[in-house]
Structure 1
Amino acid sequence: FFSVPLPFCTMQSYQEIAPAAEKSYITKVAGAVIGAVAIGAFAFGYYQGGLQVDAELESTTVFNLIANTVARPAPSYSIFGSPRQSLAPLEARVAGVEIPNNKRIEIALQSIYGVGPKVAMDVLDATGINPDTRTRALDEEELTKLRQELDKVDYIIEGDLRREIRGNIERLRAIRAYRGLRHEMGLPTRGQNTKNNARTRKGKKIAIQGKKK
């Protein structure tokens, strides 16, 4: 019903138009690059200005007062209006280990590496503390007595004990003793049967694919 005329140009007209089109394309690319550089410079300057404003605000007394007020947690109040005490008191720290608060001190001391029932009772006898006392009921003086007693050279616990055990194993491996070789292979060292079980030392079973028939 209607027709669109096809563009038509001669070789002479093309030679006249091509340089102008190429110059226009280069101008557009250059304009885009200059615009991108200008936007980047503006954004960088805005960011630097914001940092400077933040530094000036932090130096003011009012800003510090507001920041401290927001950062400080609001105390929780009971129905009588007084601040409520925390329901979970801080755990006591003995020999660098936090011992549980809700257990008897005789049991709580055994959470320290190297302290068993015998050592725990010896420490409590030396300090005069009742073994049935809960850890949370001990005062600071009694906790200090426990720390001082465990710091004595009679007890090797925590890091010192771990280093001693590691050193003993390294010595057995260095002299190529039987127990040292068993440690290297990750197998029991005291003559246990390893055909069955011994999974604690050997780890989980590894499935081996059977031969194809």
Structure 2
Amino acid sequence: MVYVLGVNLPDHHLVKFALTSFYGIGHHTAARICARFQMHNTCKVRDLSPMQVTALASFLSSPKDSLSPLRFPTATPDFTPSTKPHSELLTEFRAQRAKREVDNKKPEFLLRRLRDRRVLPDKLKELKIEAELRQVVRENIAHQKMIGSYVGRRHAMGLPVRGQTTQNNAKTAKKLNRVERWA
């Protein structure tokens, strides 16, 4: 068993499913975390190296302070680096970029919008788990109670909030049905 931030991760579970034992991490977020740390889909907790466990623990403890993932994919196994000098590669790159800009002929505001769409913010930076998320949920419920909303009143009375029927509601509905039949 791996013990990370107060949560036991069973050795025989896949990492992407073991991460869901943290309060606030679902399947989608767990898959994103696995992708960030380059853990494949069939990786089990027992297969993690101590470095990976440490990196995972440090990320989960403070996602805002963690480094962003690389923007460019890593090289494929069959990649061979170029033997050309850097200055020659730079001139080729600038020539290709200039050709692309001439071919595009799109207005600058549209190019800016396309460029901004490609660079999306890292959604894992705002990740809140365990105690921090529980505190946010408690504050939201307290706010609902304070403003006197319907949801807040149901929370205060200990009733279901999302439209579930309680046994009392079911009994009341049965009584109402009986009364309606006699009328």
Which TM-score applies when normalising by structure 1?
0.47
Selected match of 2:142 from 148, 170, 180: 170
Specify the code of the residue in structure 2 equivalent to 1:125. Answer: A
Distance 1:137 1:124 in 2: 13
Q: Is the aligned partner of 1:152 residue 2:63?
A: yes
Matches within 5 A, 1:122-133: 122-133=32-43
Shift of 1:184: 0.9
Distance 1:157 1:181 in 2: 27
% identical equivalent positions: 34
Q: How many residues align?
A: 107
Structure number with the higher helix fraction is 2
Unaligned runs of 5+ in 1: 1-90, 198-213
Question: Tell me, what secondary structure is at the counterpart of 2:160?
Answer: coil
Matches within 5 A, 1:27-176: 91-150=1-60, 151-153=62-64, 154-176=126-148
Shift of 1:186: 1.1
Matches within 5 A, 1:16-27: none
Distance 1:135 1:191 in 2: 38
Distance 1:166 1:92 in 2: 29
Unaligned runs of 5+ in 2: 65-125, 172-183
Q: In the alignment, what sits opposite 1:196? A: 170
Question: Tell me, what secondary structure is at the counterpart of 2:59?
Answer: helix
Which TM-score applies when normalising by structure 2?
0.54
1:149-194 deviation digits (Å, cap 9, x = unpaired): 3220321000001111111111111111111100011112233334
Q: In the alignment, what sits opposite 2:155? A: 183
1:73-123 deviation digits (Å, cap 9, x = unpaired): xxxxxxxxxxxxxxxxxx212233121111111111111111110110010
Over the aligned positions, Cα root-mean-square deviation in angstroms equals 1.6
